[in-house]
Amino acid sequence: MSDHAADAAGLGRPRAAAFMAPALLLITAFLVVPALWTLVLGATNYRLTGLAAANPQFVGTGNITEALSDPGFGWSLWLTLLFVLGSAIFGQSLAGLSLAWSLRSAPKVVKAVVETLVLMAWILPSSVVAFLWVAYLSRHGGTLNAILQTPGTDWLIQHPMASIIVFNIWRGTAFSMLLFSAALSAVPPSQMESARLAGAGTLAQLRDVVFPHIRGHVLTNTLLISLWTFNDFTPYLLTAGGPNHATEILPVFIYNRALYGGELGYGSAISFLMLIINLVIALFYVRLLRERR
Amino acid sequence: MSPQAFLRRVGFVLFLAVVTAFWALPMLWLVTAPFDAHPGLTVRWPEWTLDNFRRLSESPYAFSSLRNSVLLAGGAMILVTVFGALAAYALSRVHVPGRGAILYGMLLLSSIVTGTAAMVPIFQLMFTLGLIDDRTGVILVLTGGLLPAAIFVLKDFMDATPRSYEESARVFGASPTQVLRHVVLPIARPGLATIAVWALVNAWGDFLTAYILLRDPTKTPAGVVMYTFYSEGGQANLPLISAFSVLYALPVVVLYIFVSRRYGFRFHGGIKS
């Protein structure tokens, strides 16, 4: 009973292993195996139907080199970059920070209403919010056209990328807002007060007093929302990657090529590249967490 | 009030007005159209009626899809909470060899292997296992994806429950399973409730997993049926869509109200920062 002190409930290792087994089994089967499988499958010319479905051939790194020279993949990667930069790193971060900042001094009712609206946009099911935006942006009878007096503008056709970027800011700002309001409440009020008395404007206060306190939060937030936005499939529900591939960000590109088009081998190779990008962002994040501990 | 302070005040109010409009306008339709006798795409004051909900019962897949969503989300919620609690408790109380590595690996895995990045191998895996078009398959995939984060959060909760209670229960002759059921679980209940709600909302809103794994329209959940309602060609059936979307969204709204009343919907500094 050497580790009795730690094992207060007297579980013992065999029982502890039995407790962990179901969870570890499911995680292995549905996270670890698929991740490794992208490598195996990505090295074949496996297809959903046809000759290559019955007898897939080993093509090695052929799919990866094909992807890297495929203009469709390059275009999709570029769109994904725009999407992550525009909607997450700039859009959600700035909107979240300005909401958290301004709601501190807003009346209680206003604060509650705005927070609830922003949170609703975040937690409602994705196919519901997608249709809400399809209706909102629609060419004939859309509410946005009625407000802006721009009848006949088909936003999802004429400005597809801008539409899904604005949509994702609307959808995901809640997380940044919550994170930054928690961060801002930890800034000592006395420091803000003295900065204000010294005549510092809002921007100067943010830069010199607030930012040093929340630098860690800003990084955490940027990494997490980049990862989520990079892996977001919701734009598919608005545009399905169209018109003419104009909004085909990586997740949609994989779906269209692999599961809709049936090129499972090629799709796996792209998935593998996507996992590598995720790994880089996540390693960066975990490293950061450990440094701060 | 100095002119400068006045201008700042105006700017502040203007900003809040714009922000409120930006978030509220797309959502207004969900409040007006379901109760309008002739719903259009534009938001307007409705001619009040509940007729749209009656029409919903004529659609073959509307109610069955909501039942499917209950099955899928309920199943995933139970599995995530039970398996997550068991694993987190074991990790918290027993020094399992390589515990640090397991937790570290799970944190990495759960953020890297997302449903979108892994959709092809998951499809392939379920195809091989013969679980395509099987609701159990969707539940298992959803559970696998949610478990690592659940274990992470629950381990923090388990670490925070005092060990002295378990020791005294042991002194009075309780078996380890009794200790877990009668001592640990009641103390860890807020943590379990948090994870249960989180898993439920995630699985309820899932689109992609069910979309790629289920074919039979009688098995598909509300998220997928909602998409087929508006993406399939022809004139969109707005009375049907509006009534359906409000029913599908309602549980999430109710849970939100419940959670924010009971616990307050914000981060308590405990968020990884």
A52 inside domain: no
Q: Find residue B48's DSSP bridge partners.
A: B36
Helix, strand, coil percentages for chain A (3-state, nearest 5): 75, 0, 25
The answer to whether B113 contacts A34, with C-beta atoms less than 8 Å apart, is yes
A156 inside domain: yes
A66 inside domain: no
The answer to whether A132 contacts B226, with C-beta atoms less than 8 Å apart, is no
Is B61-262 a CATH 1.10.3720.10 domain? Answer: yes
Check residue A2 and give its pLDDT. Answer: 40
The answer to whether B94 contacts A128, with C-beta atoms less than 8 Å apart, is no
Check residue A170 and give its pLDDT. Answer: 96
What domain range includes position A181? 73-292
Q: Find residue A58's DSSP bridge partners.
A: A44
Per-residue pLDDT tens, chain A, 293 aa: give them.
Answer: 344 445 666 777 788 888 889 999 999 899 888 888 888 877 777 776 665 666 677 777 778 888 888 888 999 999 999 999 999 999 999 999 999 999 988 899 999 999 999 999 999 999 999 999 999 998 888 889 888 888 888 899 999 999 999 999 999 999 999 999 988 888 888 888 888 888 888 888 888 888 888 888 888 899 889 999 999 999 999 998 889 899 999 999 999 998 888 888 888 888 888 999 999 988 887 777 777 65
CA distance B90 to chain A (A): 5
Phi, psi of A162 (to 5 degrees): -60, -40
Q: Which residue has the tokens 């923090």?
A: B156
The answer to whether B86 contacts A181, with C-beta atoms less than 8 Å apart, is no
The answer to whether A123 contacts B16, with C-beta atoms less than 8 Å apart, is no
Of B93, B114, B260, nearest to A7 by CB-CB distance is B93
- Chain B residues within an 8 Å CB radius of A255: 119, 212
Check residue A269 and give its pLDDT. Answer: 86
Check residue B251 and give its pLDDT. Answer: 92
Q: Which residue has the tokens 């525009």?
A: A86
> Of all helices (H) and strands (E), which one includes residue A219?
helix A211-230
> Distance between CA B207 and CA B17 in Å, rounded?
33
Interface with chain A: mutation pick from B116, B146, B211, B226, highest number of A CBs within 10 Å: B116
- Chain A residues within an 8 Å CB radius of B180: 9
Check residue B273 and give its pLDDT. Answer: 31
Interface with chain A: mutation pick from B120, B211, B253, highest number of A CBs within 10 Å: B120
CA distance A56 to chain B (A): 13
Fill in the amino acid letter for B128: T
Contact in structure between A95 and B174 (CB atoms under 8 Å): no
The answer to whether A231 contacts B40, with C-beta atoms less than 8 Å apart, is no
- Which CA distances in Å does A177 have to A247, B46, B266? 27, 33, 10
Distance from the first to the final alpha carbon of chain B:
40
Contact in structure between A230 and A250 (CB atoms under 8 Å): yes
Q: Find residue B36's DSSP bridge partners.
A: B48
- Chain A residues within an 8 Å CB radius of B166: 8-9
pTM score: 0.89
The answer to whether A31 contacts B110, with C-beta atoms less than 8 Å apart, is yes
Q: Determine the residue of chain B that is closest to A227 in CA distance.
A: B111
> Distance between CA A116 and CA A121 in Å, rounded?
9
- ipTM, two decimals, is 0.88
Q: What is the CATH number of the domain that holds A91?
A: 1.10.3720.10
A161 inside domain: yes
Check residue A50 and give its pLDDT. Answer: 64
Per-residue pLDDT tens, chain B, 273 aa: give them.
Answer: 788 888 888 988 999 999 999 999 999 999 988 888 888 888 888 888 888 888 888 888 888 999 999 999 999 999 999 999 999 988 888 877 778 888 878 877 888 888 888 898 899 889 888 899 999 999 999 999 999 989 988 888 888 878 888 888 888 888 878 888 888 888 888 889 889 998 999 999 999 999 999 988 889 999 999 998 888 766 778 888 999 999 999 999 998 888 888 776 665 444 433
A67 inside domain: no
* Binding-face residues of B in 213-252 toward A, CB within 8 A: 222-224, 226-227, 230-231, 241, 245, 248-249, 252
Helix, strand, coil percentages for chain B (3-state, nearest 5): 75, 0, 25
Tell me chain B's radius of gyration from C-alpha atoms.
24
Check residue B205 and give its pLDDT. Answer: 92
Check residue A44 and give its pLDDT. Answer: 77
Whether B24 and chain A come into contact, CB under 8 Å, resolves to: yes
> Distance between CA B159 and CA B191 in Å, rounded?
11
Q: Provide the residue ranges of all domains of chain B, joining segments of one domain with +.
A: 61-262
Whether A121 and chain B come into contact, CB under 8 Å, resolves to: yes
Check residue A52 and give its pLDDT. Answer: 62
